[in-house]
């Protein structure tokens, strides 16, 4: 899988005194790879959605991969669990 975005996990924090929320992508050694501040009336809802973007992308890629290859996959429980976790992160 070729990714051209900052790898996850992404996390969000806030609100800060300014009302902003912060989305941060960390490396395995906790070094900051990317950090974005989100403001505006929907910032509290946008921050978890943005932080969940890598998880949502991965869940969708895993979900469609076997079907795209024509595989007959009968056990979707793990894929469904990953999708549910990504949705929960996006809507928290």
Model pLDDT for residues 22-55, shown as the tens digit of each residue:
999 988 888 888 899 999 999 999 999 899 888 8
Q: Which residues of 30-48 are buried (b: 16+ CB within 10 A; e: fewer)?
A: eeeeeeeebeeeebeebbb
**Block residue for tokens 């949705």:** 87
Q: What are phi and psi of 26, to 5 degrees?
A: -115, 145
What per-residue confidence (pLDDT) applies to 22?
92
Cis (ω within 30 of 0) for the bond into 15? Answer: yes
In this predicted structure, what is the pLDDT of residue 1?
A: 47
Position of tokens 């290859």?
69
The residue that leads in pLDDT, 82 or 74, is 82
Whole-prediction pTM value? 0.69
Burial 60-74 (b: 16+ CB within 10 A, else e): eeebeeeeeeeeeee
């Amino acid at each position: 899988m070729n990714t051209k975005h900052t790898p996850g996990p992404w996390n969000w924090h806030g609100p800060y005194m300014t009302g902003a929320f912060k989305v941060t992508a960390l490396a395995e050694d906790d070094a900051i790879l990317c950090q974005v501040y989100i403001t505006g009336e929907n910032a509290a809802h946008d921050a978890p959605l943005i932080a969940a973007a890598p998880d949502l992308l991965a869940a969708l890629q895993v979900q469609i991969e076997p079907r795209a290859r024509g595989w007959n996959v009968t056990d979707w429980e793990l894929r469904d669990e990953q999708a549910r976790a990504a949705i929960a992160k996006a809507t928290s």
